[in-house]
């Protein structure tokens, strides 16, 4: 595996303060359990453009029109609870890449 660079995840939602807050906490919690160290940047969807360059991938609770060449994962299941484990798994796998 070698020395991995710490991944940076961009977590975005419409206002950047509500659903993205819950999603960020759930990701950090899951990373703690997996003993993974990550950077999380929380922002509004409209701000993704200015942060995307520094991010490894994007997690949002809405549909993204443009993910600026980055992989994006829809994390709405972390809010509704429907399919939550699957999405967390996908995010963890992406971090481990």
Binding site for other proteins (CB under 8 A): 13-19, 21-22, 25, 42, 45, 61-63, 74, 76, 79-82
Q: How far is CA 78 from CA 1, 2, 60, in A?
A: 29, 31, 10
Q: Tell me if 3 sits within 8 A of 59, measured CB to CB.
A: no
31 is catalytic: no
SS3 46: helix
- Nearest distance, CB of residue 1 and other proteins, angstroms: 32
Question: Catalytic one among 11, 12, 13, 30?
Answer: 13
Least Å from the CB of residue 72 to other proteins: 13
- In the bound state with other proteins, the residue whose beta carbon lies nearer, of 1 and 63, is 63
Question: Looking up tokens 């419409």, which residue turns up?
Answer: 14
Report the nearest approach of other proteins to the CB of residue 75 (Å).
10
Backbone angles phi, psi at 25, to 5 degrees: -60, -40
Q: Catalogue the active-site residues.
A: 13
């Amino acid at each position: 595996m070698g020395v991995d660079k710490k991944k940076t995840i961009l977590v975005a939602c419409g206002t950047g303060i509500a659903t993205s807050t819950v999603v960020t906490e759930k990701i950090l919690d899951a990373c703690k359990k997996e003993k993974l160290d990550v950077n999380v940047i929380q922002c509004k969807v409209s701000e993704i453009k200015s942060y995307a360059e520094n991010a490894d991938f994007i997690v949002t609770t809405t549909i993204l029109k443009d993910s600026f060449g980055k992989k994006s994962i829809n994390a709405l299941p972390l809010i509704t609870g429907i399919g939550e484990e699957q999405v967390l798994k996908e995010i963890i796998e992406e971090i481990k890449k």
